[in-house]
Structure formats: C-alpha cells, structure tokens
Amino acid sequence: MSRIAGTFEALARNQEAAYIPYVCAGDPDKDFTVDLVSGLCSSGADLIELGLPFSDPVGDGPAIQEAMGRALSNGFEVKHIFDVIKRLRAKGLTQPIVVMSYFNPILRYDIGRFCEDAARAGADGILVVDLPLEESGELDGHARANGLDVIRLVAPTTSAQRMERILASASGFVYAVSASGVTGAKRAMPESAATLLRDLRARTKVPVILGFGISSPAHVEEAVRKGASGVVEGSALVDIYAGSLHDRQRAIDHAARHARTMKNATGTGADQNLSGDDGSHTKQA
C-alpha cells in the first residue's frame, strides 16, 4: 500500500477528510519552505502538494505566479526540490508529499531521472498539470516503476467518456478542479464543483480531492458534505504567508494557525465513504 493510500485509510477510520496545502518550493527560498511545510504538518496538514516553480504557469493565478517568481528570482532549480524533500524527511516528516509540476521542467531534467530522484528523496506522487493523458505514457511508466502515484486532474468540462479513461489510470487520489480557469481564492463554491464531485464519486473508489478556489473552513465543510475526500488549498495560503515574509516566523505562524482552522473543518460529513484505496501500489509508508 502506498503512503498516500494509507493516509486516506487512516482518515476514513477517524471519520476525517484530508487537508492538503499547496506550497511553492523555494518561495522565497529552500529554508523557508522546509520550515513552512513543517509548521503546516504540525498544524494538521494530512498531505503536502509541493509545487515546482516554473516560468510560465498558465494554470495558476496571481498569488502562485508571484510565489513561483520569487523562487525563480532567488535561483531555485529543479534539483532543489529534491533537496527540500530530503530535508523534510530528515526532520521526521511522515505525511505524503506530491510533487506538482508543469511538464517542461520534467522533460528538460529527463523524465526517468526526475522520477527516480523524486522517489529517492521521499516523494510519494506526481501531478503534472499540463500533460494530457494521451501523452503521459512515458511519465506514467517511470513514475510507477519508482513507486510514485500518478495524480490525475478532472475538470467540470471533462466529458464522461474521457473521465472514464482518466479514472482508469488514476492512483493516490483524483484532483477535481472546482471550476474552469486558473487557481485563486473564491468566495463561494461553484455549482460545477458539486456536479463534478457527484459524477466522480459514482465512478471511482479512488479518493476525490477538490481544489481551485478553496480558501475557508466553510469551503472545506461544503466540499466534504458534497462528497470530497479532502481539499487542496493553494492561493489563499500563499497570500497569508506572503504578506509577512519580512518576518519569517510570523509568516509561518500565520499559515500554521490558518491550517489548523482548515483541518478542524474536515470532520464535517465524515459519515460518507472518505477512503478509496485503489490497491495499485506496494510502496510502504
């Protein structure tokens, strides 16, 4: 069983959903990332989505674009994300880590080498936001050969036929995009999110995680009530710490307090089936 599958099984036993913060690696530097992730995990984060900075993040809104810009301007390179993961594991962090990336940096680094280095560092999964299913065969092969779950994205615009193909190769969890467009905090969950969650839960036992626009405990509660096994929060969290980067400890404390309130909201709707082990991997926790 993969570390990701084990985490979702444990959450289901405790009648909780997952809180998954997105952190841009290297924003503004590696040391801050390690301290921030450690603080988030100590405050209840169940998994970590660790973003690889990229110069053209077309799927992301202003907050994450600016975070990636800060990281890149301070010299962050692809190889540095593996150093961050190694340092987190050395500090005793046990939560699963999913590397989120655009495809170009992986391709330039070398697909096989990237997957090997990610697994060796201690990563558990990989999410490539701009790689179509039809073109992901090589990456999938290398990822699974190294025990990495391949996280798939499904959007409200995904057809039923295509959804079935995506779900057939998904592992770890499925990332449900709440609405079309780029990342960014939103005031209310769009109706498209509820429809998508309903469709996905009817088609797969793999945990379904809702992302894009999540920014408050109320969003978490609503997502879980409507069938999500958890949520990913990115832009809102980045905004919380980015405003205090002149005082790093204060920035981490602010983010950690927010994470605690988000995690506390994950028990709502816990009578639903929140697990979904697909049993497709044997990597040990």
> Which residues are identified as catalytic?
49, 60
Q: What residue has token string 């040990």?
A: 284
Q: CA 65, CA 73: separation in Å to the nearest integer?
A: 12
* Two structure tokens written together for 36: 């921030």
Backbone phi and psi for residue 69, each to the nearest 5 degrees, phi listed first? -60, -40
Q: CA 152, CA 129: separation in Å to the nearest integer?
A: 8
Cβ distance 202 to 194 under 8 Å? Answer: no
Residue/partner pairs of 188-193 with CB below 8 Å, 24 or more apart:
189/213, 189/219, 189/222, 189/223, 189/226, 190/156, 192/156, 193/156, 193/223, 193/226
**Alpha helix (H) residue ranges in 146-234:** 160-168, 191-203, 217-225
First to last CA, the chain: 8
**Sign of the alpha-carbon dihedral angle for 72, 19, 243, 89:** negative
Backbone phi and psi for residue 107, each to the nearest 5 degrees, phi listed first? -60, -45
Cβ neighbours of residue 72 closer than 8 Å, sequence gap 6 or more: 26, 53, 55
